[in-house]
Structure 1
């Protein structure tokens, strides 16, 4: 093995440090780090003796791995790098260890006195800690005893709390039982001898509470209290006495309403019955027979009061009625047919003829500005008019402001809804006890009482509406009433008052059929326009027909009332009216001699209808009616423009159309024939200024609406420019081409007026409107 290390050391393939390490291994002076750790462990375990190494094992180990392991040690690697002798270095370390050991022993010997004192102090501290341990053990024992005492006190406290709670519960139940069973002399005296006023409420409430307790105790399955046998009869006697006194008082107050000059029903309800509602609740729960009698008397009295009130109110409203529309105020009714009488006298003229077919301010009745007439003010006015006699009666009636029916309808039904709301709320408070409210039957009870009370008033309202509906021809007034009726129904829903549904529906059943009947009358009147032998109409009859204006105003009013709540009935009525109006236009157009007059007539009528609809806020794209008549007008205007051009520039249109049909190509007619061009040029140059003047005069004469006339004139002149521009281009192409071989170019006898010159002439007429 030694030979192996020596051969490695003698090799020239390694550096000097490597060779020195191998040499040290060969001499047995250098061990691997693992062997060093084994020797260190041997010394720590107390083993001594000569160090021995297993050279055979070392020989079998991989020399390269051992050398790599030595090179990783920093100290050995540093020594080998500096070229130091490892054996000498080991002897130096050994000497240093012996010196350090000797120094340590000497220092220990010199410090032995201090070490003895430290040992004495340590023993003293141990004694002190033993004493503290004893004290703490005793304290822990005492704390354990105190903790046990606390647990015992806590258990006692819980037990006392349970006993206290049980005693409180028993005391409460016993107090409730005593309070429910004991009838004090003071309670008996107050019930039997006390006056029935606001001080009577507390004794009655106490009596009711005792009776509830007795009833509850008597129904318990665990047996009853013996005292109930004694207190039950006494409570029964007090119940009868209290019921009799309450019945007498409430009946007296209710029957007093029948006397003339007495308090009004709302005043009695507000000032007396509502404050004493608990007394009636006592009757409902404790004496149903007396409560039923009281309820029947109230229903009878209130029924008469409301019936009389609304009957007088409706009579007063009739005196304020000013018919806005009469039988002859139909869309197709001619004004001349309204003259009557033996001497040709006419009927009296209404103050405001605008109310016949247009809404005007009548629509304010649907808003806050159209507030209803207060019943007190109206009845006072009606009484003043009724009290006048002789010559003062007519003057008094003239001073009274007359109103259309929708205002009177609103006044009556608004008062009906307000009184119904007040009455329902009163009945819900006065005739429905707390027990009934808890059973969710309170509203049913109040509705049943309300129907009995308000049936005459509702019937009178239907009669009031029927009297107007049967004799009216005012479709707008009827539709306004329908909208008012719907608003009142919505108001009842907002107030959460579930009454008057039947009345609202019955009113609608009166109004809708009449509205449809009146619309049918309007349609029949339009159908009769120019019926039979129709005379031929002249050019002076091209202005808008009177039916068109009425129709436009009427349709605008219907659309306005149909905006908030669209209904199919109104939409169907509008389509029926529009179809009949178109039929009327067709019948009238048959009386004209030429198509131009017909177009002028239709344009004027369509323009008037669209204008009136636009003035009422209805634009194209938002309403079907506006879109329809706008399209009809546009179609007629386009045809009228072509008709005017045919009249004054027909030769130009015909020539351009013929040339465009033949095709402007070489070899066509335009290449060889110049006479047609020259004829058109001669005619146009000579007459176009007069033709423009005639067109302008015809538009001014035939269209009274300046804005509409301007639009039509611009359309005619614009279309003329388009035709003339096409002709001018044809002319230039025809006469600017080179002649064929051997031919001679022919120049036109006359050149057409330039387009700019024509535009100058046209601009003279664009500002006439």
Structure 2
């Protein structure tokens, strides 16, 4: 192989050699090249001297084929004309053949010599290759044995994994059985400490409650699981039953003792309830294991607490309502009632007894009383003995709030206690709660009914009605079931009494004897004291509705409208007794203004009563304005009204007859307008005590005054009067307005 490689390294065929090889391959080498072709054939077939094996022959053949392929590739790249020319001419082929033979011989000798020189390394290499073959054979055998061993190990691992799974499953099963058995043993075992605690320790001790929990747990679990075939359960149950009976007796006695403490006078029952709640499990134990005893305790508690609340509220109501104010409204304190005092004469001189006139301001005005349904609603309760020591007295609404708030507080607290301690809910809890508070509810209702039936204070009754709504909302906030029958009864009593009192008020107004009311020939135009009372009472009702954050109900609206109707009738009767029509209007305006100024508020302005009175006042102001303007510009007013009527009807041709009247109207106005303005100003200041009202009405009159002048001027501008020279003599309206501005208030 080395010789062959060496010959290839030194041999680089030319184009002629390539042509020769191609010719030889095609079977034409001998014919074209002769001896050179034979030499090449022999050279290619020259045997190997060092390696005489079939592989050498194959190698030479492969070499020949590869040489051929190389030559063919070179022929493809060469110039086709040059190849044809080289084949066609045979010049230099003999010389080239000799040259190739010489070079091939030298290459052969060099290759042989090289092999001889390297024979020892080649032999050593051969030995090493043989040794490596042996090593590889042994390694192959070892690996084959490893492969066989690994196959066996995989099967062993599968077996071990399967065994491990079975062992793990067995372990889990045993652990489960162990847990069940240990739990079962713990459930049925009755320890000596527990038995000793149940039998000997007092129920007040903390350890007794823990032992009771443990006993309840054991009995419950055994009952739930059932006795089954376990002999140990049959041995344990008699012991547990004995302990249960002992525990039931001790728990029942302890609970009864705590409940009997509620009977002690002046005791704080909520402290005892707190103690019961700490040991609520006592009752729960009885409820599970002795339902008869639990029902007995429940009935006993309801009976005790019912009597306790009845006694408490009866005593509290009796003492509380003794704190009522002495100077309260009576049936004589009506809107239309008049206090008369005999004065003068010898009788008054010789008698030492002074007449007493009651001040009815506190009866009809609200003052600060409305705060009781605001920030003072949830204030402290009234303590009767402390108030008695301090000589304090209260309005009825304060007493009503105190007793109702006490009832609501106890009512709420008791419901929460019953649901928490007796473990009841829904209808059962409501029924039990009503039994506990029923007697107290009846005594509170009876006490309030007695006091309401004696009340003549409409403000107080209205405040109490608003408080009933707030108490109902308070119960809802505390998530306590409401008692609709109770509150319906209370509000029914209040509405009935309020209707009666307010009816008495406006009946007294309707039945006022004006002859007794008026002590002089003429009635004063200033606001009347009955109207002032009405305004204050109406304002009180509106303030109460505003403070309670509720809209005025239909019932209250009807009551206020009835009162307003009675006052309106009274004012109509009294105004009819005025000497002049102008005084009649002034009297009505002053009284209506008093009502509006008393109930004037951002919210009450939107009330129906305010709207009614405001309309009546505006009507009276309009009538008064016409009365004031009549003496000064009545002739102009009559002229304007008649002419405008003709113009509106389209009878413009009839206006001609008014040409003669224009001169009189213009002359009178020019002569009297300035004194008229001064007179109107002086008259309004004298008639109205309220300066603000007087100035507003004065501006209204002047506005109406200027409007009539403008209307008159507009009529004069009509085509019928345009040629009348008198029209241009009328005083300019701007001059009149400048004069009027002198009387405009500075504020």
- TM-score, normalising length: structure 1: 0.71
Asked whether 1:407 is paired with 2:398, we answer: yes
Determine the C-alpha separation between the residues in 2 that align with 1:154 and 1:577: 103
Q: What does residue 411 of structure 2 align with?
A: 420
Determine the C-alpha separation between the residues in 2 that align with 1:373 and 1:404: 16
What's the CA shift for 1:278? 0.9
What's the CA shift for 1:463? 1.9
Q: 1:732 to 1:445 in 2, by over 3 A?
A: closer
| Residues 662 and 727, structure 2, Cα contact 8 Å, conserved in 1 | no
Q: 1:680 to 1:421 in 2, by over 3 A?
A: same
Secondary structure of the residue that 2:680 maps to in structure 1?
helix
1:574 aligned to 552, 560, 564, which one? 560
| Residues 678 and 750, structure 1, Cα contact 8 Å, conserved in 2 | no
Determine the C-alpha separation between the residues in 2 that align with 1:214 and 1:710: 97
Secondary structure of the residue that 2:614 maps to in structure 1?
helix
- 1:65-464 equivalences under 5 Å are 94-95=80-81, 152=159, 155-197=162-204, 198-218=206-226, 223=228, 225-260=230-265, 263-270=267-274, 272-322=275-325, 324-336=328-340, 349=358, 353-374=360-381, 378-381=383-386, 385=388, 399-432=390-423, 441-464=424-447
Q: 1:478 to 1:155 in 2, by over 3 A?
A: farther
Secondary structure of the residue that 2:599 maps to in structure 1?
helix
Q: Deviations over 1:20-78 (max 9, x none)?
A: xxxxxxxxxxxxxxxxxxxxxxxxxx99xxxxxxxxxxxxxxxxxxxxxxxxxxxxxxx
Q: What does residue 516 of structure 1 align with?
A: 499
- 1:505-584 equivalences under 5 Å are 505-530=488-513, 540-563=523-546, 564-566=549-551, 567-584=553-570
| Residues 472 and 482, structure 2, Cα contact 8 Å, conserved in 1 | no
Any stretches of 5+ residues in structure 1 without a counterpart? 1-45, 48-89, 100-105, 114-119, 386-395, 433-440, 739-745
Q: Deviations over 1:375-413 (max 9, x none)?
A: 5xx14315xx4xxxxxxxxxx6xx422221211211112
| Residues 596 and 643, structure 1, Cα contact 8 Å, conserved in 2 | yes
| Residues 364 and 533, structure 2, Cα contact 8 Å, conserved in 1 | yes
Asked whether 1:676 is paired with 2:661, we answer: yes
Q: 1:216 to 1:728 in 2, by over 3 A?
A: closer
Q: 1:164 to 1:380 in 2, by over 3 A?
A: farther
How many residues are paired up? Answer: 627
Q: 1:422 to 1:535 in 2, by over 3 A?
A: closer
| Residues 536 and 591, structure 1, Cα contact 8 Å, conserved in 2 | no
What's the CA shift for 1:137? 9.2
Q: 1:661 to 1:463 in 2, by over 3 A?
A: closer
- TM-score, normalising length: structure 2: 0.73
| Residues 542 and 604, structure 2, Cα contact 8 Å, conserved in 1 | no
| Residues 338 and 347, structure 1, Cα contact 8 Å, conserved in 2 | no
Q: 1:497 to 1:674 in 2, by over 3 A?
A: closer
Q: 1:170 to 1:485 in 2, by over 3 A?
A: farther
| Residues 527 and 594, structure 2, Cα contact 8 Å, conserved in 1 | yes
Determine the C-alpha separation between the residues in 1 that align with 2:596 and 2:523: 22
Q: Deviations over 1:275-314 (max 9, x none)?
A: 1111121122212222233223322322232222222222
Q: 1:145 to 1:366 in 2, by over 3 A?
A: farther
Of structures 1 and 2, the larger Rg is shown by 2
What's the CA shift for 1:469? 0.7
Q: What does residue 700 of structure 1 align with?
A: 685
Q: 1:164 to 1:729 in 2, by over 3 A?
A: same
Determine the C-alpha separation between the residues in 2 that align with 1:256 and 1:735: 107
| Residues 283 and 422, structure 2, Cα contact 8 Å, conserved in 1 | yes
> Which moves more between the two structures, 755-764 or 518-527?
755-764
Q: RMSD value over aligned CA atoms?
A: 4.5
Determine the C-alpha separation between the residues in 1 that align with 2:694 and 2:200: 96
Determine the C-alpha separation between the residues in 1 that align with 2:687 and 2:712: 30
Determine the C-alpha separation between the residues in 2 that align with 1:751 and 1:691: 19
Determine the C-alpha separation between the residues in 1 that align with 2:462 and 2:727: 73
